Amino acid sequence: MSLVLPSELVVDRFLPTVRAMLATRLAERGLTQQEIATNLGVTQAAVSKYISGDGGGDDRFREHPETVATVDRIADGLSSEEMDGYDALSELLALVHSLVDRGPICELHEEEMPGLQGLGCDLCVRGLDSDVRAERDVLASVRTAARTLAAIPEMVSYVPNVGTNVGMALPDPHDETDIAAIPGRIYAMGRRIEIPANPEFGASKHVATAILAANDTDQTIRGATNIATDDALLETARVLGLDPLEFDAEYENRGDHLRSRFDERGGVPPVAYHRGAFGIEPTTYVFGVDAGAATERVRTLVTESSES
């Protein structure tokens, strides 16, 4: 992954755009090119390029409402001499801070460093902290787990019609927004597995419900994946000593039902399944301490079942 600092984007993409915008607006307010150059701290030749439209820049800043409003405010202040360089700098620094906080600079940063995408990164605003690191680790685990599923040759036969998914919770999860999964689920396309997107938090209600129920019973269980219910696979689980747990698919509140069944069992089983119901496809959940452990367990079950 390339290493790009947000400050580089401010210098290379934001600053030329804002200077060009300011030069144009100051010219419209009657300032000479030399006066504009003095205000902006650039040469008259640079001002000439800005005004002619040859100064480059990025349209996402030109069209950003907060940027437009700030530039207009600075142009009015400088042209009327109600604002000096210190005031203008203060306005621009406040704007940069805002644009870094989930604004266009943040978007540019994610484009330059794709590894940041989906992290909900606010590293520039808060700095590195344990919460950000935990989110990053969970997303990385789910991303790797999804690729693991896709690489299992026999997996296509165990993907439900509605798709499969793999999820993982942050420590001490409260609701589905604390569970990362693949948006849109993972589908079988012909004889291959299609992963439509990178993992995101809050992307899967069904897998999140199972993970939350499991984590309430056993806080070490933070990962799960769902596959199609298959008798041969369930028998393989029994042979491996995993003792699958059956639950009722028709309960309106599946989370509460799962918690009740886990309590009856005395813990979270590695495998829990239902036989389906009207409009509900038979589904099996495979649990693990994280997303990787859950998918490795799926690999073992699918491979052993296919060979038997």
Instruction: Specify the CATH architecture of the domain 130-307.
Output: 3-Layer(aba) Sandwich (3.40)
Q: Write down the domain spans for the chain.
A: 6-123, 130-307
pLDDT of residue 102: 66
Alpha-carbon dihedral sign for residues 132, 181, 250, 241: negative
- Give the pLDDT score at 189: 86
CA dihedral angle for residue 121, residue 132, residue 226, residue 280, rounded to 10 degrees: -60
> Quick one: what percent of the chain has pLDDT higher than 90?
63
H or E segment and range at residue 204: none
Name 107's Cβ contacts closer than 8 Å, sequence gap at least 6: 60
Range list of H helices, the chain:
6-9, 15-28, 33-40, 44-52, 59-62, 65-80, 85-100, 104-112, 123-126, 130-150, 205-217, 231-239, 254-265, 291-307
Alpha carbons 20 and 54: distance in angstroms, whole number: 9
Residues of the chain with confidence (pLDDT) below 50: none
